[in-house]
Amino acid sequence: MLKLAGISPKKIDIEPGTVVKIWVPTQTTTKPAVVFLHGFAFDGILTWRFQALALANHYSVYVPDFVFFGDSITDKSERSVQFQAECIAKGLKKLGVQKCTLVGFSYGGMVGFKMAEIYPELVHSMVSISKARLHRLGLNSWPDFLLPDSVQGVETLMQLASYGFPKLPNFIYKEILEGICKYRREKVELLKALVVSDEEFTVPSYHQRIHVLWGKNDKIFEVENAHYLQQQLGEKASVEYIENSGHIVKLERPFKYNSCLNKILPSLSSS
């Protein structure tokens, strides 16, 4: 379906030992570029397939896999968000993308903010953390939640990340588990690299316009975090809440999410 919509996968050599897979437009186009950055549990196209299909007619859609997700890999020991941002930015530049709007989800939002900070000439605008309620959710650590090692763990992940997502057949959870278990050790290292103390955490000054879409019933990052993020980002940031949706809002309510994007992206692309 994605290939019929004009999007196909491409592997890009970023540097010796580092390869990034990005779903890219099949044909050269002058449409505005939109780059979708996935979260921690799933790869790019599994996360964004509904949005990629819905927007491909009007935008040049790019959907990368971060390093150690999907088919992206490196032999480097670097695990930082900045390294992920650099890999995606270099890959986009090799594809000829000169300016784009980022749409980031969760971990992808963190990578997107770093890209906006260090590549302001590339990142034109962005659609998008504070502390999550791990202990209230009955979890001890991020790896326990984001990197389950059983079918039951994947089901728990989907339940906690959604408002009312239906139970799926076990074979789907098994397929998701296979993707999660790939490069598990490296993914744990990526999570550890995210840990920053409150004293060290600062929000850079961005010149780009930033619009935050937030699931109104997010149990992982509550709406208070959205208020805090907007205050820290300043007057260039705006927040919109989507009712009856949790953390995985773009999977849980794809039509509403796509409708919001279709209203937001034209204004961001033209500003």
72: domain range? 2-139+207-270
Residues 6+ apart with CB under 8 A from 121: 99
Please indicate, yes or no, if residue 196 is contained in any of the structural domains: no
- Report the share of the chain in percent with pLDDT over 70: 91
CA 141, CA 161: separation in Å to the nearest integer? Answer: 15
CA 47, CA 31: separation in Å to the nearest integer? Answer: 22
pLDDT class for 130, splitting at 50, 70, 90?
Answer: very low
Please indicate, yes or no, if residue 19 is contained in any of the structural domains: yes
The model's pTM is 0.87
| CATH at residue 242 | 3.40.50.1820
> How many domains does the chain divide into?
1
Please indicate, yes or no, if residue 105 is contained in any of the structural domains: yes
pLDDT at 266: 86
- Residue closest to 183 by CA, chosen among 231, 129, 147, 236: 147
Please indicate, yes or no, if residue 182 is contained in any of the structural domains: no
Please indicate, yes or no, if residue 192 is contained in any of the structural domains: no
pLDDT single digits (tens) 75-118: 999 999 999 999 999 999 999 999 999 999 989 999 999 999 99
Whether the predicted pLDDT of 129 surpasses 50 = no
Please indicate, yes or no, if residue 174 is contained in any of the structural domains: no
- Residue closest to 148 by CA, chosen among 156, 138, 159: 156
pLDDT at 230: 83
Please indicate, yes or no, if residue 150 is contained in any of the structural domains: no
pLDDT single digits (tens) 154-212: 999 999 889 888 899 999 999 999 999 999 999 999 988 886 555 555 667 788 888 98
